Amino acid sequence: MNDQAVTESTRDYANVLIGLDGIGKTFGRVKALADISFDFRAGECVGIAGHNGAGKSTLMAVLTGVFAPEQGTITVNGRPARQYDPNAAREAGVRCVFQELSLCANLSVAENMAVVHPELRGGNWRRRATRLMREQLDAIFPGHGIKGHELIADLTLTQRQMVEIARAFTMTRDPVKLVILDEPTSSLDAHTAGQLLTYIGDAGQRGIATILISHMLGEIAQTAHRVLVMRDGQVAAVLPREAVTQDAIIRAMGQHVDVEAEPSGETRVARETVQGDTAYHWTFGKSRRVQIDAPRGEVIGFAGLAGQGQSEALLAVYEAATKSRERIAFVAGDRARDGIFPLWSIAQNLDIRWLLGKRDGDGPMRAPTLTKLIDRRASGRIAETWRERIGIRGAPLRANILSLSGGNQQKVLFARALASDAQLILMDDPTRGVDIGTKRDIYQLVRNEAARGRTFIWYTTENDEFAYCDRTYVFRAGGITRMLLAHECNEQALLAASFMEARA
Ligand SMILES: Nc1ncnc2c1ncn2[C@@H]1O[C@H](COP(=O)(O)OP(=O)(O)OP(=O)(O)O)[C@@H](O)[C@H]1O
């Protein structure tokens, strides 16, 4: 299909809330956006897809008035905006759920509501804020389990994502006309993500437009009325509803991914029993309910609905393995809080493990000395090798880590673990925000490294990823309901085990 023809045929100026015409934005020498024209219409869900660094978040920062574009015009309800800043965006009814969540960790859920909704002042504001938040959470995520007085810092990443989404949709005196959702399901399990997608449809019926940015292309194909595909800061295609398939999106993104190329568990030899000295065994939790066997050289999945004890189990494995002096690396799930060093460069973020000193073969860790704290040349070589290998793009290695797009930051964390000498690698949703092409490369890397004897423990909220695991433990309420071997691990079995009672 001719992409340009698709773009023209779908141009319709009725009900246009926000119009973009020829928008351009640069960061130094990086052209983040070039000549972007697009109309966002009332009640419509627009999916936005594109490789990591394609310019999606930058475009959203323009729509929310955070970045002023250097070229182009923005129209609101058909009229060119003279000064389109965050206030103008708020008055136009634009709300945003950011990829790096924007909640204040040291405030409660209700207090975070009051921060963005100025009318929540005066007597009883706390009670009103709590009520509004709970009503909105009930509407989007029935059974969410959030009370409203909790500190954000005490919530799981999934719960924080739910609060941020509910806050953006909450009706106050400020209008809600266009809600931008930047990777809103990256920490939600399939069940909770489904609740959100249903709600997006309902909101559309009430005239609320949404923008769904996601690397989970199935979600976009299922939900969006039109899909804007971006490539290198430009519009690569605008696909109307009838042309939206995962394949069409991937083709427009310019990525070469065989969507059917998922491995079949049946091709791997399933090992029912685990041999003593070749395996890790861990037992922990209340009444020692969590028992995990991880043969060396295997990829072990942690599955189940989000927040059922998987992250806690990863931490317990980390503690146990550290005590027994295993060489271990951890890819943190909450990138902004636990993963990156925001004041450091990309290279420093990647080679931080060198600060811990190096091992001689299997011997003890050599303590770093003041004079030889870091072997700069060697660490530079490693950073360069991994930048190439995993495709970290967008800025030179010496640039600050925050100048990378979210997905590229995630690749740095992954490279940090793989570049280390760790034999046991724990991963808390490591492909959050990573584009589909890079994901496939990462899956291949994990399988290759496992074949070389490394063991991976992999918690993910994406059920597709268990196809790459040798055995998968399904969690429910802090315990394990089932262990599925590769050939038994399919969507149906995962779903059934996710809702089973955990073994006492
Ligand atoms: N604050 C910044 N300083 C310098 N460069 C930046 C900054 N923010 C973004 N960029 C660059 O602009 C380009 C577009 O980044 P953007 O975050 O918009 O991509 P994205 O499509 O949202 O990617 P992802 O899918 O990884 O989130 C990238 O090359 C990125 O490195």
Three-state DSSP string of 425-492:
EEEECCCCCCCHHHHHHHHHHHHHHHHCCCEEEEECCCHHHHHHCCEEEEEECCEEEEEEEHHHCCHH
Instruction: Please tell me if the CB atom of residue 53 comes closer than 6 angstroms to any atom of ligand 1.
Output: yes
Question: Any idea which residue has 């009838």 for tokens?
Answer: 242
Q: Tokens for 206?
A: 């009430």
DSSP state of 503: P
Half-sphere exposure of 255 (CA within 13 A, CB side): 27
The burial class, CB within 10 Å (0-12 / 13-18 / 19+), for 80 is exposed
DSSP state of 242: G
Residues pairing with 426 in the sheet: 330, 457
Q: How far is the CA of 164 from the centre of ligand 1 (A)?
A: 22
DSSP state of 400: B
Which atom of ligand 1 is least distant from the CA of 404?
31
ipTM value greater than 0.95: yes
Q: Which residues of 426-447 are buried (b: 16+ CB within 10 A; e: fewer)?
A: bbbbbbbbbbbbbbbebbeebb
DSSP string across 397-413: TTSBGGGS-HHHHHHHH
Residue type, 53: G
- Phi, psi for residue 452 in degrees, rounded to 5: -90, 5
Smallest CA separation from ligand 1 atom 19, residue: 53
Question: Any idea which residue has 């979210």 for tokens?
Answer: 406
Q: How far is the CA of 31 from the centre of ligand 1 (A)?
A: 10
Q: How far is the CA of 189 from the centre of ligand 1 (A)?
A: 26
Q: Tokens for 424?
A: 């046991």
Instruction: Please tell me if the CB atom of residue 394 comes closer than 6 angstroms to any atom of ligand 1.
Output: yes
- Which pLDDT score, from 0 to 100, does residue 30 have? 87
Q: How far is the CA of 343 from the centre of ligand 1 (A)?
A: 17
- How far is it, in rounded angstroms, from Cα 91 to Cα 146? 29
- Residues 178, 95 contacting (CB under 8 angstroms): yes
Q: How far is the CA of 410 from the centre of ligand 1 (A)?
A: 13
Q: How far is the CA of 241 from the centre of ligand 1 (A)?
A: 27
DSSP string across 327-393: -EEEE-SSIIIII--TTSBHHHHHSGGGGG--BSTTSPBPPP-STTS--HHHHHHHHHHHHHHHT--
Question: Any idea which residue has 């994901």 for tokens?
Answer: 439
Question: Any idea which residue has 């106050």 for tokens?
Answer: 172
- Phi, psi for residue 456 in degrees, rounded to 5: -120, 135
Mutate to test the pocket of ligand 1, among 23, 25, 26, 27 (most ligand atoms within 8 A of CB): 27
Instruction: Please tell me if the CB atom of residue 58 comes closer than 6 angstroms to any atom of ligand 1.
Output: yes
- How far is it, in rounded angstroms, from Cα 244 to Cα 228? 10
Q: CA separation (Å) from 404 to 54, 183, 315, 396?
A: 11, 16, 28, 9
- Give all domains of the chain, ordered by start, each with its CATH number: 1-93+209-256 (3.40.50.300), 94-174 (no CATH), 265-498 (3.40.50.300)
Instruction: Please tell me if the CB atom of residue 433 comes closer than 6 angstroms to any atom of ligand 1.
Output: yes
Q: Tokens for 90?
A: 């708020």
Q: Regarding beta strands 16-27 and 30-41, do their DSSP bridges make them parallel or antiparallel, or are they unpaired? A: antiparallel
The burial class, CB within 10 Å (0-12 / 13-18 / 19+), for 316 is middle
DSSP state of 29: T
Residue type, 147: K
Which atom of ligand 1 is least distant from the CA of 405?
17
Instruction: Please tell me if the CB atom of residue 60 comes closer than 6 angstroms to any atom of ligand 1.
Output: no
Residues pairing with 94 in the sheet: 178
Smallest CA separation from ligand 1 atom 4, residue: 403
477: left (phi over 0), alpha (psi -120 to 50) or beta: left
Of 469, 472, 464, 459, give the one whose Cα is nearest residue 428. Answer: 459
Instruction: Please tell me if the CB atom of residue 50 comes closer than 6 angstroms to any atom of ligand 1.
Output: yes
Instruction: Please tell me if the CB atom of residue 430 comes closer than 6 angstroms to any atom of ligand 1.
Output: no
Which atom of ligand 1 is least distant from the CA of 215?
25
Q: How far is the CA of 296 from the centre of ligand 1 (A)?
A: 38
- Which pLDDT score, from 0 to 100, does residue 501 have? 65
- How far is it, in rounded angstroms, from Cα 482 to Cα 276? 21
Which atom of ligand 1 is least distant from the CA of 399?
4
Which atom of ligand 1 is least distant from the CA of 28?
4
Mutate to test the pocket of ligand 1, among 405, 409, 442 (most ligand atoms within 8 A of CB): 405
- Residues 410, 346 contacting (CB under 8 angstroms): no
- What are the 10-residue block averages of pLDDT along the chain, 504 residues in total? 40 76 92 95 95 92 96 94 93 89 87 84 85 93 88 89 93 90 88 94 94 92 94 94 89 65 50 58 78 92 88 91 89 82 89 60 46 63 84 87 88 88 91 83 89 93 90 91 91 85 56
CB-CB neighbours of 489 under 10 Å:
25
Which atom of ligand 1 is least distant from the CA of 33?
14
